[in-house]
C-alpha cells in the first residue's frame, strides 16, 4: 500500500530514459512527498516501468489525463487502480459530467486504496489567447472555475490548476477540495513553457494542497539537494 505523502511536493520525472528515471526516483523519493509520472513515460515503459520507478509504497501521481467516453475512462481508472495503485490519477474535466462520475465511481470500488480523481481544468501552458483559439471565449480563470465546479459536483476529489487560480478555487470549492498545482517555479528558475506560475511558498500560502515541480528539481546538478531545499523552505 502506498504511503501518505510526507510533504506537499510531488516531483515530476519527465523523461523516457528508464534508468535515469529509476535513479531519480531512488534519490528523490525519500525526500519528496511523492513522484509524478505522465503520458510520455507511461507510453514508453507502461505499468512495469512506473512500478520500477515508484515501487509499491512511494506516493504516486499518475498523470494520464483520461478523456474518452465514460465506460472507457472507468475502465482506465480500474486498470490503473488495480495494477499501479496510484495515489492520484487525472482525467480531463472537459469530458463532461457522465465521464467524471464514471471515473469517480470506478475509483470508489477500491475502498481505502482508491486513487484520488483529479480533474484537469485549463493546462498551465494555456492563456486566454490559447483558449480563444480553440473556441473558448471565457478567460482562463473563469473556465477553470467552471470546470472545477463541474468536477466537484460529479464526484472528483480535486482539480489540477495553475497557481493563479488557487485562491478563487478555494473560495468556490471549499477547504476539502484538493488543489494540485503545477507551474511552480522557485525564485530565479526558468519559467520554461509555463505561463501562469508562482513560487512554492506563494502557492502553499494561497491554499494549494500539493505542488508539482519538475525541471527546477530534476534539471538541477543535485536533484535531491534541490528538492530538500524546497521542502525545507516550505517547512520553515
Positions annotated as catalytic residues are: 65
Residue whose C-alpha is closest to residue 166's, from 210, 125, 136, 128 = 210
Measured distance CA(138)–CA(129) in Å, rounded: 10
For cell 498551465, what's the residue?
A: 124
What is the DSSP secondary-structure string of 163-190?
A: GGGHHHHHHHH-SSSEEEE--B--TT--
Measured distance CA(125)–CA(84) in Å, rounded: 28
What pairing do the DSSP bridges indicate for beta strands 88-92 and 116-120? Answer: parallel
Amino acid at each position: 500500500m502506498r504511503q501518505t505523502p510526507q510533504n506537499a511536493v510531488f516531483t515530476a520525472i519527465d523523461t523516457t530514459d528508464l534508468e535515469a528515471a529509476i535513479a531519480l526516483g531512488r534519490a528523490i523519493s525519500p525526500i519528496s512527498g511523492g513522484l509524478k509520472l505522465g503520458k510520455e513515460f507511461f507510453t514508453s515503459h507502461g505499468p512495469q516501468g512506473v512500478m520500477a520507478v515508484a515501487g509499491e509504497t512511494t506516493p504516486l501521481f499518475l498523470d494520464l489525463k483520461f478523456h474518452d467516453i465514460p465506460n472507457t475512462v472507468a475502465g482506465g481508472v480500474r486498470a490503473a487502480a488495480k495494477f499501479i495503485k496510484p495515489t492520484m490519477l487525472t482525467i480531463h474535466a472537459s469530458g463532461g459530467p457522465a465521464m467524471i462520475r464514471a471515473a469517480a465511481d470506478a475509483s470508489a470500488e477500491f475502498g481505502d486504496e482508491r486513487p484520488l480523481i483529479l480533474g484537469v481544468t485549463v493546462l498551465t501552458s494555456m492563456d486566454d489567447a490559447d483558449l480563444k483559439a480553440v473556441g473558448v471565449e471565457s478567460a482562463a480563470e473563469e473556465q477553470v472555475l467552471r470546470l472545477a465546479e463541474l468536477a466537484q459536483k460529479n464526484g472528483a476529489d480535486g482539480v489540477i490548476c495553475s497557481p493563479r487560480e488557487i485562491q478563487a478555487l478555494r473560495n468556490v470549492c471549499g477547504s476539502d477540495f484538493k488543489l494540485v498545482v503545477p507551474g511552480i517555479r522557485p525564485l530565479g528558475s526558468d519559467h520554461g513553457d509555463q505561463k501562469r506560475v508562482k513560487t512554492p511558498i506563494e502557492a502553499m500560502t494561497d491554499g494549494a494542497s500539493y505542488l508539482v515541480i519538475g525541471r527546477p528539481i530534476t534539471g538541477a546538478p543535485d536533484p535531491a539537494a534541490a528538492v530538500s531545499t524546497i521542502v525545507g523552505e516550505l517547512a520553515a
